Every structure is written in C-alpha cells, then in structure tokens.
Structure 1
Amino acid sequence: MKNIYKKYWLIGVVFMSFLSCNNDTETLFPDSPAERIQQSNSELLNLLLAEPNGYKGVYFPKNDEFGGFTFFMKFNADGTVEMTSDFDSDTAIQTSSYEVRYGTTTELVFTTRNHIQKVSNPNYPGLIGTGFKGTSVFQYFGNDNGIITLKDVRNVDSGSFVLTPSGLTNFTTESVIKAEASLAQRQNILPKASNSVFQVLKIEKGDQVFNFNFNYDAFRLYASPRVTLVDNDVISVEEFKFGIAFTEDGLIISPALEFDGEVYENFTYDADSSSYISTVNGSVAKILFDQAPAFLTDDVEAVGQPGHQVFGSYLSFGDSPLTSPGFNELIDTLNQNIVGLGSFAANWSYSGFEYYAQPDVDGNVNIYIGVFDGAGTTYYGGYSFNQTIENNKLYLQFNGSINGNGDFFFNALIPILQFFNSSNGLYFADQGSFSSDLYSYSNLSSTFTSADQPNLRVYGLWYN
C-alpha cells in the first residue's frame, strides 16, 4: 500500500511541473500568435509608409550566380507602389500594387506587374530559360535604424533585398535620374573600343600588391576573380565569386570580398582612371583595365586537341560582350574594305571565320574567313598559319593564302589577318558553355585576344 501512495505522489509532482512549464510559456509569449503576426505586419507596413520620398533598394536575387539591381520605390497607404529601376533602359516610373501579409513569416509581396517582375523574367536575352531567378515575394528579416532587410523566398540563403531611405526631396524626378545614372555605371565597367579588355582587380595593402583576373560576365552581372598566391615557394590559385549591383556613383558586390583581413563591398567610380575604387583601413581595391592579364592559365594547351579542333565565330551567332568593342570596330573596317573591292561588292560584308586548329605534321593550321554576298552565298578566303604554343600563349605565323578567294580578299582582310598574326601572340581563355543575346549552346566557348592590341578580343565556340 505504501508503494502505491508513493507512485501517486510522483505523478502529482510531474503534473504540477507541467502546469508550471505552461505558465512560464504563457509569460514568455503574452500575445496570441495572431496578435504577434499583426504586430510584425504593422511594423513593416509602418516602415514602408514612413518615408514620403521612398526607398532605394538593392536586390540580389541569387548572389552565387548573378548580380543585382537598384530600385527606387515609394509605398503609398492605398496599397500602391511607385517604382523605377536600372534593370534596363525603360526607367519610367510605374505604379502597381503591393501587400504586406503573413506567409511563413511577414512578407512584402508585389502583386501586380512592375519593374521588380523583370528580375524573374525567364526570357531575358542572354539568359533564356532562367533569367535572373528572381521573385516578387520577400520575407521581412528586420529593421536597423530604418534600413529594412528582406530575403528572397526562392533563394533565402543567396537572395537579399535591402531598402534604405532614399534621401530624395522629389521622388518623381530624382528617382529616374538616379536610376539612369546607375544604369550608366553598368557601361562604365565594360571596355571601350580603345580599352584593353584585360580587367584586373588590384588590391594594394602596405607594400603588398595582389592582382586578380577579374573575369566579369556582363550577362550575369557576375565576377569570379582569380589570383595567384605564393607561399614558401608554393604557387596556388585562389578564386572568389560575387554578384555586382550598380548604383549611381559606383557598385556593390555581394557577398563582400574578404581578403587578407579586410572586407571590400562598396566601390566608387573614378572617371579619371576609368576604375572602381574601395578603400578600407588604408588598403585599396581597384577594378581597372590593364595591358595584360594578371596571370595566364594553361587553357591554351588544349588548342588542337579533341574538343578544341574546329572553332567558329559568326555574326549570326549573336552578340556577346566577350567580343570587344575594339574587335567590332575592326569588323566595320573589314566591311568598308570589302565594299571597296568594286561596285559588285556593294552589299558584301564580313560574316565570320572558322579556325581548324589541329596542326598538320609541319605545324600548320588553316583559317577560313567568310564574306557574305548579301544574296545567300558566302565566299571563304582560306589562309595558312604556322601554329606554336609558348609560355601559355598561342602564336599564329602567317604563311599565305591557300585558295583563290584568299588571294582575292587578301587586301580587304589584312586587319583580321594581322589580329591572328599578333607578333606577341594571342591570349586564349575557355569561357564555359556558349551564350549570346540570341542563343545558348552547350558547346564550349573561348576567346582569343591580341597581345599586340589588347583591345581586340573575339568570342566563339568549338564544334569539336
């Protein structure tokens, strides 16, 4: 009988402990779940409406694949939002609807079409099928002195949207001006016709200088800088990856670059040097154009081997920023020369070239340059080069024409023949699968850049 009483006493103790725990829980959360949801929703909505001239927002939809975009947004109490952005040249303010509601947490949802939906468009030129993988639904993560942090519901770990009070005095006029200035910065990072195409990230810290190949992808607004490091005579290559969003006075990278104890995130454009500069604790990081790559890869060793035996570069493949403005100007010169062949050539033009990179027993290769007659026929001038690879550069020494068309077109095509025959060689780099504003192919793509004239770079793909 004594044991039975003892068991009932223990059950009573456990039951009282359970009640005590329940009371503690109710103390920790005095409001009901519905009340807490309403408080969070009200907090975000009040913040959005607190700025009469709106917010400047920087949205990185997926910073492990793409860069981001700058928006200016003015939220109104009637559920409408006025918006402009630097996504493309259409910067006019558009008005649409938004909601603050509860999903898995408090969310800001853009419910009707506006500039923000462009980031989720899968038909964006150069990124057909994927676009920038953005969204119109954002989770509310917090407020830091008026700066609102939101997360992309599709890419919570890599997508962020940060809203900062715009500081504008007239949203209607100033927001468009700033969006257009931000869009112009996207052009400043690209080489001009006279610029070298070799973009370098240079970090200067004390007496140390580190040079990275910047490896910027203008379609994806994305960079993958690589640097060669030497430690106790051991050479290693370190690679970083980040997206880029442009602002009216520079750019922001995400994730921030952490290197040698410093963190670089915000860069300001310097027009005098055509460079972007970030200064942190006395160290300086610069994105600039240099006359040569920061270091050379051994990609060129594959030229002539299976997978790198027949290369094509045609205008019909579409445009890519990897073909430099300088090379496009060279094409303009070729077209002028071709038209100058006679009245019969009034509609003729350069169409592209094919490079047969597998050398014969004497080390010779052939390049065929196409001239389109405007009526359905392409004539190919054939030319022979002796091919060698030295010090991670490709050398093509001109031998002469190999067919009658080659002789006929020779004078007109001298600029591109000189490009191939660069006395200091050609820099070669593989660029992953082929992508242009018209097409995306699984074929491996590559670039060739003249060491004599580093503003000349051409992009194309390998057939085999």
Structure 2
Amino acid sequence: MKLKTIIKYLFIAVLAMQLVSCDNKETIDSPFNATPTERLNAQQKELNDALESSEFGWKAIYFTDTTQLGGYTHVFKFKAGKVDMASDFDDDTAVYSSEYSIDLGSTVSLVFTTKSRIHLLSDSNNYPIASLRGKGYKGDFQFLYYGQDNGQIIFKTNRSFEEVRFVKATAQDWTDLAKNRAMIPNVVGATTRPLFRLLETNDGAKISKFDFNFTGATRFAKANSIETGSSVSYNMGIAYTPTGILVNPAVKVGTQMLSQFTYEAATGNFIATGTAGVTATIKYTTQPLVLTDDYKPLLAGNPLTRFAYIAANLATAPSNSLLCNNLLNAVNANLPSTQKINRITFYFNDGGFGSYIQYTFTGGKGALYHNVTTVEDPVNKTIILKHVSWDNGSEPALLKDLDKELMDPKGLYVKKESFRITFSNTIYTFTTASNNFRLTTYAFQ
C-alpha cells in the first residue's frame, strides 16, 4: 500500500475516533438522557435546598379562590422535614411546628403532612359562609413545584391549580402578621364611619364610581359601576397588610393594574396610586350611590307586604351592619339565657291592623308589637316609620336602642338585593339614613 494511502486511512480513523469521543461526551452530559426518576430526584433536591436556604424562611399570600375568597398570609421556616409556620387566618398569629415532605409523583410536590395553620384553609368542615358548607376555604396542603423565578419559588395547588408564590421572608414578616390583623377593623369599617362605600377610579382623564361592598367573613369585595349602561365591575379577594390591603385580581384603571392599597387613617380611605395621575380609592359616602324605588310598595294604599329578619338564618348575613349586630346582641344579653330574639317582622298595610313591627322571642317570651304609619321622602327615596303606639302600652326598655334605629326620623333606605341566603326568598335590606345600621330580611309577598 502506498504511503499516501496509508496516511489517508490513518487520518480517517483518527477523525472517526474524535467524532465518537464527542458523541460519547454529549451523551454523558445531556440532561435528556437522564431517566425520569433521575430528573425528579434532582428537582426534589433543588426544592429542598431552596426551602432551607432562606435565613428567615418564606412568605406566601395564599388566595384560594379569587372568585369568592380573599388571601391569607403564611410564613414558613423549613428544616429537615420540620416546618415552623404562622398565619393571619385568625388572631392566633403564634408560630407552630409541624412536618412536611417533598414527594415524588408525576411531579415534585411540597406536602404539609401534619396538622398546621395552612390546614385551616383545606378543612371542608371549616367554612366562612353557608354557601361554602362542605367546601371550607377551598384551600390545599399539597403544592406542585414549578421551578423558581427571580428568587421566588413557584407552586400550583394540587386541587385547583392556583398559582402560589413563596418569596423570601424577613424577620419583620413574622411580626407583621399581628399588624395584618390590626388592619381588619379599618377594612370592615368602624361604627363611627358612614355605612356606605364606593370605589372611585381615576385614569388621568375620567373619574368613575362603583358601589363597593365588602364581606369580612370571606375577605371578598364586589364593586359595580353606577353609570347608566355600564356593566363594568370588580370582584376582588382581599389580603390584609400592615399598611393596608392587597387585592387580587388587581383593579385595572386605564392600562394600569393596581393591587396595593394604603390605608389613610384620617379619612378611612384606602388608596392605590399608579403613574400619570392614575389612582383607585375605596372611600366612604353618606348615602347609597344608587337610590332605588324599592320602598314604594311599602307605602300606604298598597297591598300587604311582609319582611322578616329570622335569626336562625340571617344572624350571620354579611349584609347586616356591625351596629345592627351589636344592637341585636345587646337585646339578647339582657334576656334570660333561655330566651333570644328570633324574628323582627315588618307588616305593611295589613288590613285593619295597618303597619307595624313585630318582635318575637324564643323561650316562651311573648311577642311585642310597635304600631306605625309610613311617610315617604321622595327626594332622598326613604320610607319614614312614624310611632303610633305599642300594644302593651309603652316602649319596652329592652328594645329601646334597636327600635330607635328603625324609627330613624330621616327614614330607611329599602333595597331589593340580588343575592340569596339559604332559601329562594328575595332579600331586602333596611338601612337607616342617619346611621350605619342595616338589617337583612326575607321578603314574604
């Protein structure tokens, strides 16, 4: 064989060996050649290392269902299968220890394996309102790992696939939980503030107003436009912060999304500020944004109508105001332990009896009747109840403060509500024009 031919074949052989070597290196280094188990094991270690890496642990504001529930702040400190945890779910913001595991399945997941604060959201027997009976707060205790982003750990819940992000906590985050709880009375609204609220948005060119209603039990708010022909509304879950509230979904004003609202103590307002003059403000107003004619069928000359507050079903109605609940509780506190107020029934145009308020009680106590006449305030759209007499001859001291609200000289706003509570009966609310008293009733027509 000629020397030139031999050199040619040697060159080809050496080149082939180099190619094989490169292929082997790529095969060894390629992550695509790892088995599914190896990849899951790597993710498991990655998650565990991340959970244990933060000096002060992690914080998560967990919105379980932003269509009807608000957010709950949790702080965690993970170490070797043990987790220290605290939350602002209730006034108990102490730190409790429990256990966790990082499980392998179709994906890697963080599972809180023993009873902890986060299980308060997943217990189906622990529910905030009747419509969530058997569903609880719709929370989870298993979180599927979806990687990390800018120092945050991304999870999705196993049951509902809601995204939850863990951000690195600070030492302050652990003590701020109590401050979150201290913000609640400001969100609920003090009895010294007007009862009605609105959400006002400013996109830099136009101011828009929305009727605003907040339910404390669910940490959820609804705001509907008062503009004729507008169907714009905001339904938002609310989480408490030391300085105000965080809303989810964010309020869209123009092209900007506003979610952080700061509390202003002097006015009671909550203000979110964007750029270029864009703002959203939750503020008080002394009367409903939309005045209705729902009171008119109650006036003299109309057929009989009846409305009843029934304690068994409406004592926890979120539409009752705090002042209303306080006055009802005060009546019960002044009764023997076997007796409670169980109904307040309004009768309008009851034949020869006219109009009256009937108060009934459990435990054998007899009913009390307050006879009234009705007067219309057509400008402010209220119905004014005028005293005629008490069937027993004089005003019962027991009912003095409660009945005084219903006899407000400026009248009552009457509103036919769109929601239902337990039964199919239409809900009507009676709200004083002078004070922040609102009572929820069923209509019986």
Please classify the TM superposition score into its range, dividing by the shorter chain length. 0.7 to 0.9
Structure 1 counterpart of 2:411, which letter?
G
Q: Quote how far apart the aligned CAs of 1:347 are.
A: 8.9
Q: Does the 8 Å CA contact 1:386/1:399 hold for their aligned counterparts? A: no
Q: Quote how far apart the aligned CAs of 1:390 are.
A: 4.9
1:456 to 397, 418, 437: 437
Q: Distance in 2 between matches of 1:202 and 1:151?
A: 33
1:170-219: per-residue Cα shift (whole Å, max 9, x none)? xxxx5552111112222220121211111221223335322211121212
Structure 1 counterpart of 2:92, which letter?
D
Q: Does the 8 Å CA contact 2:356/2:369 hold for their aligned counterparts? A: no
Counterpart for residue 182 of structure 2? 184
Counterpart for residue 196 of structure 1? 194
Q: Does the 8 Å CA contact 1:353/1:367 hold for their aligned counterparts? A: no
SS at match of 1:59: strand
Q: Distance in 1 between matches of 2:412 and 2:100?
A: 53
Q: Cα distance 1:400–1:352, how it changes in 2: closer, same or farther (>3 A)?
A: farther
Where do residues 13-412 of structure 1 align in structure 2 (5 Å cutoff)? Answer: 29-76=32-79, 78-124=80-126, 126-127=128-129, 128-156=133-161, 159-168=162-171, 174-206=172-204, 208-229=206-227, 235-281=229-275, 282-296=277-291, 309-314=306-311, 318-328=315-325, 330=327, 351=341, 353-357=343-347, 359=349, 364-370=354-360, 376-386=364-374, 390=378, 393-398=381-386, 400-401=388-389, 404-405=391-392, 407-409=393-395
Q: Quote how far apart the aligned CAs of 1:166 are.
A: 0.9
SS at match of 1:383: strand
SS at match of 2:146: strand
Q: Distance in 2 between matches of 1:236 and 1:384?
A: 39
Q: Distance in 1 between matches of 2:70 and 2:246?
A: 9
Counterpart for residue 425 of structure 1? 411
Q: Cα distance 1:334–1:92, how it changes in 2: closer, same or farther (>3 A)?
A: closer
Q: Distance in 1 between matches of 2:381 and 2:340?
A: 27
SS at match of 1:229: coil
1:388-447: per-residue Cα shift (whole Å, max 9, x none)? 59579441332512x522x3226775544443344443223426233xxxxx55654442
Counterpart for residue 3 of structure 1? none
Q: Distance in 1 between matches of 2:304 and 2:349?
A: 14
Q: Cα distance 1:413–1:164, how it changes in 2: closer, same or farther (>3 A)?
A: same
Q: Distance in 2 between matches of 1:302 and 1:131?
A: 39
Q: Quote how far apart the aligned CAs of 1:324 are.
A: 2.3
Q: Does the 8 Å CA contact 2:144/2:156 hold for their aligned counterparts? A: yes
1:351-382: per-residue Cα shift (whole Å, max 9, x none)? 26533455357995322134x5x963133123
Q: Cα distance 1:317–1:216, how it changes in 2: closer, same or farther (>3 A)?
A: closer
**TM-score after normalising by structure 1:** 0.77
Q: Does the 8 Å CA contact 1:224/1:240 hold for their aligned counterparts? A: yes
Q: Cα distance 1:81–1:412, how it changes in 2: closer, same or farther (>3 A)?
A: closer
Q: Distance in 2 between matches of 1:195 and 1:315?
A: 28
Question: Size of the alignment, in residue pairs?
Answer: 412
SS at match of 1:278: strand
Q: Quote how far apart the aligned CAs of 1:294 are.
A: 2.9
Structure 1 counterpart of 2:146, which letter?
F
Q: Cα distance 1:34–1:327, how it changes in 2: closer, same or farther (>3 A)?
A: same
Q: Quote how far apart the aligned CAs of 1:34 are.
A: 2.0
Q: Cα distance 1:391–1:133, how it changes in 2: closer, same or farther (>3 A)?
A: farther
Structure 1 counterpart of 2:324, which letter?
F
Q: Quote how far apart the aligned CAs of 1:113 are.
A: 0.6
Q: Cα distance 1:394–1:165, how it changes in 2: closer, same or farther (>3 A)?
A: same
Structure 1 counterpart of 2:273, which letter?
T
Structure 2 counterpart of 1:286, which letter?
T
Query: Identity of aligned pairs, percent?
Result: 26
Q: Distance in 1 between matches of 2:243 and 2:140?
A: 26
Higher relative contact order (CA 8 A, sep 6+): 1
Structure 2 counterpart of 1:37, which letter?
L
Q: Distance in 1 between matches of 2:112 and 2:337?
A: 50
Q: Distance in 1 between matches of 2:158 and 2:38?
A: 23
Q: Does the 8 Å CA contact 2:307/2:441 hold for their aligned counterparts? A: no
Structure 1 counterpart of 2:285, which letter?
D
**TM-score after normalising by structure 2:** 0.80
Structure 2 counterpart of 1:457, which letter?
R
SS at match of 1:151: strand
Q: Cα distance 1:93–1:459, how it changes in 2: closer, same or farther (>3 A)?
A: same
Q: Quote how far apart the aligned CAs of 1:115 are.
A: 0.1
Q: Quote how far apart the aligned CAs of 1:308 are.
A: 7.1
Q: Does the 8 Å CA contact 2:70/2:239 hold for their aligned counterparts? A: yes
Q: Cα distance 1:139–1:353, how it changes in 2: closer, same or farther (>3 A)?
A: same
Q: Cα distance 1:378–1:240, how it changes in 2: closer, same or farther (>3 A)?
A: same
Uncovered stretches (5+) of structure 1, i.e. residues with no partner: 1-22, 169-173, 340-344, 435-439
Cα RMSD over matched residues? 3.6
SS at match of 2:119: helix
Q: Distance in 2 between matches of 1:319 and 1:398?
A: 29
